[in-house]
Amino acid sequence: MSGVQIGIDFDNTIICYDKVFAAVARERGLVPEGWEGLKTDLRDHLRSRAGGELAWQGLQGFVYGKGIGGAEIYPGVREFLAACKQAGSKVCIVSHKTRFGHQDPDRIDLRDAARSWLRGAGLVDAADAALAIRDVYFEDTLPAKIERLVILKLDVFIDDLVDVFEQPHFPKATRSILFTQSQPPHPEHCKPIATWADIRREVFAA
């Protein structure tokens, strides 16, 4: 499939925070030493305790800002972007990301942190990159993210949150791929796929 317009979410779709969330939570004494788990496991663990929501928000503010350097790229993302470039596909990132995190006393600009991570990973503005920094969009709210998707008229959009695809104004002409390892209920138009290798095969099978 060549020449298509492809949009990708950022948090938990391109960038994986699981290890850095666990490490910072251990450092802060929020979980026992040696605790390991996914970001979602940690979130649910903290929220089950008194004051856990504030602790979770503080953790997010740090990890998405100062701690973002410890995050990793999901396996297969580089290969997918290389396939996009080879096919002549236009790629953009559309993310629901506020400028500042909750409970972050340092007021780190989370969007600048994300852009720096993308540059550091060689995903934007590098000689062989499929992405340009001008094609990275951060929106304040979920409705604004959906509005951006409508404006961009994408052929394909990839996101880890089913909520995005359930929005009433999500563009029906855009092919929806849900990046997930579970099989939760999802809209009929939304295809759940567990790995980036499988997403690459799905998008570029033709």
Q: How many domains does the chain have?
A: 2
| In a shared domain, residues 188 and 106 | yes
**Whole-number percent of the chain with pLDDT over 70:** 96
Query: Who's near 193: CB < 8 A, 6+ residues apart?
Result: 177, 178, 179, 180, 199, 202
* Angle, alpha carbons 164-165-170 (nearest 5°): 95
199 and 131 in one domain? yes
Q: What is the pLDDT of residue 52?
A: 85
pLDDT of residue 104: 64
* 128 shares its domain with 42: no
Asked whether residue 38 falls in the same domain as residue 81, the answer is no
Looking at the fold, whether 88 and 129 belong to one and the same domain comes out as yes
- Looking at every residue in the chain, the average pLDDT score rounds to 91
Same domain, 190 and 162: yes
Query: Beta-carbon neighbour count of residue 112 at 10 Å?
Result: 12
Low-confidence ranges of the chain (pLDDT < 50): 1
Quote the pLDDT of residue 51.
84
The CATH number given to whatever domain includes residue 115 is: 3.40.50.1000
68 domain-assigned: no
Please choose, from the candidates 28, 120, 30, the residue with its C-alpha nearest in 3D space to the C-alpha of residue 71: 120
Domain that holds residue 141: 5-15+73-203
